[in-house]
Amino acid sequence: MPGAPEELPLARAALFIVFDGTLVDIAARPGAVRVPGEVRGLLGALHERTEGATVVVSGRRMAVLDRFLGGFGGVVNGSHGAEMRDGGRFWRHPAADSEELQAIRRMAEAWAEGNPGVLVEDKPCSVAVHFRQAPERMTDGEAVLDTLVMELPEVRFLAL
């Protein structure tokens, strides 16, 4: 992976870099991604050249991103905006890991156990259900998830 071209005026730029699909290849399962060795060095160089205006954005939990990006000093926005680290400061959405969300997560996990290939990913302010390994279960899964949140006006179901 080549470094950032020297002629670009990066000191006047802000870079927002998506983790999955940009920094790392999409993998069959969230935990199966591999961070190429040169990514950490490139991120550090971009952070320096943009004078700290390099942001990594992801749907992953901050703790997971920290394991993958170990030592990156720039801004990291995780969990689809529910968590953020800027230098030594950490912010987390006040609704993170609410009782309602934990109940939905448990029910989604119980449904997924009976559907091989369906993966439920734990996030602070959402429940992600992956159908990559079982696309034929997606229609049923969306119906189940829609039913789970129907009685909770503060929770939204999004099919992406």
Dig out the tokens for 102 from the structure: 């934990």
Q: Tokens representing 101?
A: 């969300």
Prediction pTM value: 0.75
Contact (Cβ atoms closer than 8 angstroms) between residue 20 and residue 26: yes
How is residue 35 written in tokens? 């961070």
Q: Could you tell me what percent of the chain has a pLDDT over 90? A: 29
DSSP H helices in 15-57: 37-49
Q: Which residues pair with 75 in a beta bridge?
A: 55
Token pair of 74 as six digits: 């720039």
pLDDT tens by residue, 48-65: 989 989 999 999 989 899
Residues 6+ apart with CB under 8 A from 69: 35, 39, 40, 43, 56, 76
Helices and strands: H and E segment counts in the chain: 4, 7
Identify the pLDDT of residue 76. 94
Residue 134 has a pLDDT of 93
What is the reported pLDDT for 128? 87
Beta strands 127-130 and 119-122: pairing type?
antiparallel
Instruction: From first to last of the 160 residues of the chain, give the pLDDT tens digit.
Output: 456 556 667 778 889 999 998 999 988 888 888 998 888 889 999 999 899 899 999 999 898 998 898 878 889 999 988 999 997 899 998 888 888 888 888 989 999 999 999 999 888 888 889 998 999 999 999 998 888 888 777 777 777 6
State the Cα–Cα distance between residues 129 and 121, nearest whole angstrom.
6
Check if the beta carbon of residue 43 is closer than 8 Å to that of residue 74.
Answer: yes
CB 128 within 8 Å of CB 120: yes
